Every structure is written in structure tokens, then in C-alpha cells.
Amino acid sequence: MKKLHKYLGFIMIFPFVAWTITGVYFFIKPGYKAAYESLPIKTYPLIEDMQYKGNETWLETRRIRSILGTHLLIKNDKGWQQRDPTTLNVVTAPTKIQIETLLKDAIAHNPLRYGNIISIDGLKIVTDTNIRISLNWSKMSLYQQGKDTDFINRMYKIHYLQWTGIDSIDKVLGIVGLALVLLLAFLGLIMAIGYKKIIG
């Protein structure tokens, strides 16, 4: 039993070290604020008060004003979509110039993190500070992530034994890891009880 406990201890050294290091990191949380900073689209007060005749398929409507003008957001049973406030036609995607204008306005408050836009591919934007920004045109929302975000996400994967990137295998690793911890604790308890009996 002692040998089994010893071998299990050796096997679990790396996971225990990984859990300890990542656990301390998650407790202190250095760099979290910037890595997961919310990046809202900059909005302005609405100028005109327009009323829209409701459509029975519309579950929710929202109006906002950005540097591009007024946006009408409609939610139906298929999700959100953006429509032209005047014609009510669906606006499926913005132009590259519109994206650049919208993003420059959104990131102007923090040039140290976001820097300048260097590429726009569809609704994906990259800056010269290696920040990747995704634009959800239908919801008029932004999501940003950088190398710091990637690093923290990797720490989470290490902590939860998501080492291979394959969900099915990572789930097995997680279950096996927890099972080995329980077995290690159980064997330690049995040996401790046995040792006390010998002493007693």
C-alpha cells in the first residue's frame, strides 16, 4: 500500500504543482482587469424621437446612436438583427470604412491597450498592440482579447486539466485526476489509521 501511495504521489506531483501555481494566480488575479475589459460601442444621445409600428414577429426593439448615426436593433425568434431606421430594411453588414470609424471611436479612450487598427477582416479587427476585436453587428457589441487574455485562458485550461484541446480526452483527464486525488487521500487515511493502531 505504501508503494502504491508513493507511486501515486509521484504521478500527481505535476498536477498538484500546476493546481497550486494556477490557484495562486487566480486568487491574486494580476492583469484580469485589462484582459477582460468590457469594450462597449461609444453611444451618443438620440436626437430624434421616432416611433415604429410594431411587427408581431418583433420580440424587442432597441435604438442607439453611435458615431455612424442611429441604429435600430430588432429581436425576433431568430435572434437580433439591425435594420435601417428609415426603410426598416435589414442591414446585414457594415462597410469596412464604417467598421474602422466605429472602432476608432470605441478604442480612443485607451490607446495604450488598443493602439491603432492594422487590419479588418469581415467583423474581425486587429490592432498594432496585438488586440483582437470582434464586432457583433446585429447586437452592436464588441469583444476584445489580447495575449494577456490568451495567457489567462491557458491557465484555466491547465488548472482544469484541459491539456489536449480535445474535449472528450480532457473530460477523461479531469475525472482521472480527481479520482487519483481521492485515492491518494484514501490510501493516506488508511495508512494513518494503521500507523495509529500499531503505535497504540
Residues 24 and 111 in one domain: no
In a domain? residue 180: yes
User: How many structural domains comprise the chain?
Assistant: 2
pLDDT digits (tens, 9 = 90+) for 112-165: 999 999 999 999 999 999 999 999 999 999 999 999 999 999 998 888 878 787
Alpha-carbon distances, residue 34 vs 13, 151, 200 (angstroms)? 32, 12, 58
Secondary structure of the chain in HEC code, one letter for each residue: CHHHHHHHHHHCHHHHHHHHHHHHHHHHCCCHHHHCCCCCCCCCCCCCCCCCCCCCCCCEEEEEEECCEEEEEEEECCEEEEECCCCCCECCCCCHHHHHHHHHHHHCCCHHHHCCEEEEECCEEEECCCCEEEEECCCCEEEEECHHHHHHHHHHHHHCCCCCCCHHHHHHHHHHHHHHHHHHHHHHHHHHHHHHHHHC
Q: What's the one-letter identity of residue 134?
A: S
Beta bridge partner(s), residue 162: none
Q: Does 200 map to a domain? A: no
Q: Residue 7: pLDDT band by 50, 70, 90 thresholds? A: low
18 and 72 both lie in a single domain: no
Q: What is the pLDDT of residues 55-113, one digit of tens each?
A: 778 899 999 999 999 999 999 999 999 999 989 999 999 999 999 999 999 999 999 99
Specify the pLDDT at position 71: 96
83/120 same-domain check: yes
Q: Kindly tell me if the per-residue pLDDT of 197 is higher than 60.
A: no
The per-residue pLDDT for 186 is 79
Say if 73 falls within a structural domain: yes
* Domain span at 176: 2-30+160-194
What global pTM score does this model have?
0.76
